Structure 1
Amino acid sequence: METNTNKRFDAMETNTNKRFDAMETKIDKLILKVDEIDKNVISLQLTRAEKEGEEKGYARAKAELTAK
């Protein structure tokens, strides 16, 4: 038989694990958002470089975009 202390410890551990899993999920979602923002920034740089005719900037932005 489990003692009351063991039951409380198990419940606390379960709760902590759930909170940790939820935090991991939030972090993963934030990482995906940051990656998407990064791609958008590079895409905007690429568009600007195309419009301004900056060959070096265009080549760099295109290389960064394809590397992602």
Structure 2
Amino acid sequence: DRAIVAQLFEPGFSTATAVSRHAGRGVGLDVIRELIGRLGAKLRVSTQPRQYTQFTLLVKA
């Protein structure tokens, strides 16, 4: 579902149950989304619930 995938890229979103040095602060894919925009790149997200989520980054040479 597109709405669920879109949530992954929202600032503050985290699936971590506790805050650590590397997780739980909700900083991650929102930063990636910003960088993709700056590069003029595209991101494709494919998912099969309970099996996988695949991220494909397309950057012009």
Task: Note whether the superposition's TM-score is higher than 0.5.
Answer: no
Larger Rg: 1
Q: TM-score, normalised by structure 1?
A: 0.28
Answer 1 or 2: which has greater strand percent: 2
Q: TM-score, normalised by structure 2?
A: 0.30
Answer 1 or 2: which has greater helix percent: 1
